[in-house]
Amino acid sequence: MKPVIMVIDDEQAIRLFLEATLQDEGYSIVTFANGADSLDWLSRSVPDLVLLDLMLPDMSGIQVLESLKKLYSHIPVVMITAYSQTDTAVQAMKLDAFDYVNKPIELDRLLKVVAKGLDETSEARESYQQSHQSDLFHGIQDVVPSGSEHMQNIYSTVRKISGGSSTTVLIEGESGVGKDVIANLIHRTSAREEFPFLEVNCAALPESLLESELFGHEKGAFTDAVNQKMGLLELAHSGTLFLDEIGEMALTVQVKLLRVLEKMSFGRVGGMEEISVDVRIIAATNRDLRTLVRQGAFREDLYYRLKVVDLHVPPLRSRKMDILPLTQFFLKKYSTSMAKNFKDLDASAKEVLKHYNWPGNIRELKNVIERTVLLEDGPILKGEYLKKLQIESFAEDLPQRLKECLVNPLPDEGIDLESLVGELEQSLVQKAYDAARGNQSLAARILGLNRDKLRYRIKQYGIKES
């Protein structure tokens, strides 16, 4: 996620210059020409760093600085000053400004100050982010704070829809990304939290059985219906019903579900009675429902009725900053449940986890940590415990992902270039090292590197002979 830098300066030329320059450096920029508009924006959003002019048309930069620090004490603020304002700049430093730069702005100094400000406050910003996310969910313990802008937007949307307890939600994403966790979170932050949260996997049941599970049946409705049975819709009354893998639902069942969404009533299989319910429907799928609609495999009217609120949960490989926080969460969870004493991970383990592509997403990460805690001893989870994962990461789908990046248009959400190049480099160094049977001089010749460069990479990636 790009750091967000806020520029507050009344001179348009300076705003445009800073915006263009900092965007070229990979930052996301928002600009304001006065103090009032900037403070209004700050009441709703949190930047990572602020560039603030001392002289503004409606108030002084000092006043903006004081108000900003009351809102977010952790944000680094760099003052923009004229040489004649040095005394005021010193006053700003006493009010906890991070630094200042003089006009005309020296580009090299500006970039160094910005990089230093972001680096020195990274832990404070992460701590704020984590505590703020915890506040959003009233102390729910299993919400793992995310550094991903996409996930933060999802959490923010969950908070917003908690008040509309009847709003239908569609959650899309690959298998294993945690769609069920988001569904449960929506339920627990709504007015329905004291009532049932029930779920059914639409792919796990044949059509007739799924219909019976959802709507219930009357005695004698079919051969094995020896008793009347209430369906999940009745049992979830006043609560939430989560329909996982709804893309696998048969068209005949889709028709009945659409009627429920429109009228909140239905009849049991084989019955004549009309049953009314008050239930929130949350659906999830790992398939592209729009494609299924075009193919005639999913009803268009049901599709639009389901996606009143549409959440798309990104795969773990596109939010690698979340891997280590999730790992720590699972490590603590399983270490406690299995009476183990794991406390942390070593550097090599962190590298293996960050460079692996996680095709099975969070579910795969959870299983890896559970298995490792079960089979190994703490207190430190070491990289050598993840050797199998490391080898798999080399062979798995790196060639395919490289091909996709080179042949197809880049995805809208972008790619993690450093991670992808790092995986390729690690894979080639490992192959050369194995081919040389651990002989560093030979491995260096295979790769066209000098020995010092090879040694650096062996240490960087924690490479050992397979």
Can you give the three-state secondary structure of the chain, one letter per residue?
Answer: CCCEEEEECCCHHHHHHHHHHHHHCCCEEEEECCHHHHHHHHCCCCCCEEEEECECCCCEHHHHHHHHHHHCCCCCEEEEEEHHHHHHHHHHHHCCCCEEEEECCCHHHHHHHHHHHHHHCHHHHHHHHHHHHHHHCCCCCCCCCCCCHHHHHHHHHHHHHCCCCCCCEEEECCCCCCHHHHHHHHHHCCCCCCCCEEEEECCCCCHHHHHHHHHEECCCCCCCCCCCEECHHHHCCCCEEEEECHHHCCHHHHHHHHHHHHHCEECCECCCCCEECCCEEEEEECCCHHHHHHHCCCCHHHHHHHCCEEEECCCHHHCHHHHHHHHHHHHHHHHHHCCCCCCEECHHHHHHHHHCCCCCHHHHHHHHHHHHHHHCCCCEECHHHHHHHHHHHHHCCHHHHHHHHHHCCCCCCCCCHHHHHHHHHHHHHHHHHHHCCCCHHHHHHHHCCCHHHHHHHHHHHCCCCC
The answer to whether domain 4-120 and domain 148-312 are alike in fold is yes
To the question of domain 148-312 being in CATH 3.40.50.300, the answer is yes
**Measuring CA to CA, which residue among 166, 213, 172, 169 is closest to residue 192?**
166
pLDDT for the residue numbered 93: 76
Homologous superfamily of 4-120: Response regulator (3.40.50.2300)
- Whether the model clears a pTM of 0.85, i.e. scores above it, the answer is no
Token readout for 272 is: 């004549």
- Report the pLDDT value the prediction gives residue 60, as an integer from 0 to 100: 85
Sequence spans of domains, the chain: 4-120, 148-312, 318-461
Class of domain 318-461: mainly alpha
Amino acid 294: pLDDT: 93
Digit-by-digit pLDDT tens for the chain (466 residues) are 578 899 999 998 899 999 999 988 888 888 999 998 888 888 767 888 999 998 899 888 888 888 888 888 888 999 888 765 666 666 777 778 888 888 888 899 999 999 999 988 888 877 776 655 554 454 455 677 777 778 888 888 888 787 667 889 999 999 999 999 999 999 988 888 889 999 999 998 888 889 889 998 888 767 677 688 888 999 999 999 999 999 999 999 999 999 999 989 988 887 788 899 999 999 999 999 999 999 999 999 999 999 999 999 999 988 888 888 899 989 988 999 999 989 899 888 888 888 888 888 999 999 999 999 998 887 999 888 887 665 555 445 666 677 777 877 777 667 778 777 887 888 888 888 888 888 888 888 899 988 888 888 888 777 776 5
pLDDT value of residue 465: 64
